[in-house]
Structure 1
Amino acid sequence: MTAHLKGLVLDFGGVLTTPLLPAALAFEQREGLAEGTLLTGLYLNEEGIRLTERLERGTLTQIEWNEAAGRLLGIAPDNLMGRVFADLRPEPAVIAAAAEARRAGVKVAVLSNSVGLAPWNLYDGYELEDLYDAVVLSEEHGMRKPEPEIYELVLEQLGLRGEECVYVDDTAAYLPAAAELGFATLHAVDPPRTVATLSGLLGLARPGEDPERVTV
């Protein structure tokens, strides 16, 4: 283990789960939408961005988001969030690496921009409260990544400084704010390489070849 590293903070969707993009593409196919409709309609659209940010802060319910996003996309709103991410599955290699880190004495946290907990709960079945030392879901605290305060909150819950932690996220835009607080940052784009890089940093196993770029 790199001597000063005592904590590991993991994003949830796309890190502890399978990647988000294939799930979104599968949703579009099921709904008969043109490829890219979800991204364009919700995440490159000013109103869609506003809705999602409100959802992540907990000022909009998932049901309200479903209704508004359904209108933007021109599709039925019923359990829309659950339909969008129906194909997401646990990412066993990263989950196993997190468990191994804890066994090695590393504190492990989950930091997630949440998508509402009802009627569909993205986190069901992952045993977050039992398997991790801290869990910070944005909607429960009225803040979201990349606001510095939410990274500071997870550090407070772990009882560690940024310089003692690694932060892993599949969204590159959420890494600089963590780096400003001293975190080593890892952009997760491929689970085997994510695990290989973490293994090298935390001394969990022999590092794999072609590790992902990491800044310490």
Structure 2
Amino acid sequence: MVPCHAGRRPLYAHVTRGDALSYRGLILDFGGVLTTRMRLNGEAFERSEGLTPGAYFHALEEHPDGVRVYADLEVGRATQEEWNHVIGGILGIDPTDLMRRALANLRPEPAIVAAAERARSAGIKVALLSNSFGLEPFNPYKQLGMYQDFDAVVLSEVERVRKPSAAIYQRTLAALDLTGPECVFVDDHAKNLPPAEALGITTIHHTDAAVTAARLDELLFQSATRTATQ
């Protein structure tokens, strides 16, 4: 897991497996859950590129070519370079290494990273499940240190299927060697939750890092161990 930021006070000094409830797995989305908010990152990108507010989101979510290339990127039908050129063309900006620039303001979300660390320290398996941003030439997962210390990393580009398809949740469960009722899944897009719930997975719709972290502690542990002292 991403190293704790210096000076950040941990919520709990120690968690043991004996404190855990029946959940044995935690599945976390990447962009907007394990990282800071995607909307804030996109707004910062627009400012840095001198774009009209909302232009980037329109290119991704409404422009037909942008919607198509993003969907294709997520399942490995388009390369990141193709995404760069299509989105750059829509926005009228230099496409060179555009994904790197577009995600430049994304950071690990400390509260969720810490919650994942607590889960793993208790023996709970933790998986990263992401609709891919592409891996070449820019790998955002590696850039943010999101490969190490996960029991499974499931990327839609590799699997050739994306959320909210039930298949990608089934593959994540298989990678963890767990059943749906043994797992909790966190995602910031509500549409991604029902297919997971249909497999018996407990879901959390993420809107606030502190609230989600507290909910995870509530679900995964009967009670906190002793509070850390300064």
TM over 0.5: yes
SS in 2 for 1:14: helix
Aligned partners of 1:126, 1:120: CA distance in 2, in Å? 11
Q: Give the corresponding residue for 1:91.
A: 109
**Residue 160 (structure 1) aligned with residue 214 (structure 2):** no
Tell me the distance in 2 between the aligned counterparts of 1:88 and 1:178.
26
In the superposition, relative to structure 1, how do residues 23 and 129 fare at CA in structure 2: closer, same or farther (>3 Å)?
closer
**Rg larger in structure:** 2
1:110 aligned partner = 128
Is the CA contact 1:15–1:94 (under 8 Å) kept in the aligned structure 2?
Answer: yes
How far is 1:171 from its partner? 1.3
Gap regions ≥5 residues in structure 1:
207-216
Determine if the alignment matches structure 1 residue 80 to structure 2 residue 98.
Answer: yes
- TM superposition shift of 1:22: 0.8
Q: How far apart, in 2, do the equivalents of 1:130 and 1:48 lie?
A: 31
- In structure 1, what is the equivalent of residue 162 of structure 2? 144
CA contact (8 A) 1:6 1:106 kept: yes
d(CA) in 2 for partners of 1:44, 1:26? 19
Output one character per residue of 1:141-180: Cα deviation in whole Å (capped at 9) or x when no partner: 1111111100000000111111111000111111111111
Shift in Å, 1:126? 4.3
Q: Which deviates the most, 13-22 or 43-52?
A: 43-52
Match of residue 195, structure 2, among 177, 197, 201: 177
Task: Return the structure number with greater relative CO, CA threshold 8 A, min gap 6.
Answer: 2
SS of the counterpart of 2:115?
A: helix
Which one of 73, 76, 79 corresponds to residue 61 of structure 1?
79
Aligned to 1:121: 139
Look up the match of 1:135.
153
Matched AA of 1:167:
F
Structure 1 moving runs of 4+ over 2 Å: 1-4, 125-130
2:205 is aligned, of 187, 198, 203, to: 187
Give, as a single letter, the amino acid of the residue that structure 1 aligns with 2:159: H
Which is worse superposed, 43-52 or 159-168? Answer: 43-52
Report how many aligned residue pairs link the two structures: 206
Structure 1 residue 124 displacement after superposition: 1.6
- Shift of the 55–142 alpha-carbon distance from structure 1 to 2, 3 Å rule, reads same
Paired residue for 2:29?
11
* RMSD, matched Cα: 1.5
Counterparts in 2 of 1:7 and 1:39: CA distance versus 1, 3 Å: same
TM-score by length of 2: 0.85
The superposition leaves residues 10-38 of structure 1 with CA deviations (integer Å, 9 ceiling, x where unpaired) of 00111111111111001111111111111
1:3 deviates by 3.3
Give the superposition deviation at 1:4.
Answer: 2.7
The answer as to whether partners of 1:100 and 1:204 remain within 8 angstroms in 2 is no
Specify the alignment match of 2:55 in structure 1: 37
Q: 1:2 to 1:104 in 2, by over 3 A?
A: closer
Residue 20 of structure 1 pairs with residue 38 of structure 2: yes
- Partners in 2 of 1:205 and 1:171 — Cα distance? 29
Q: Give the SS at the match of 1:124.
A: helix
CA displacement at 1:125 relative to structure 2: 4.3
Structure-2 residue corresponding to 1:212 = none
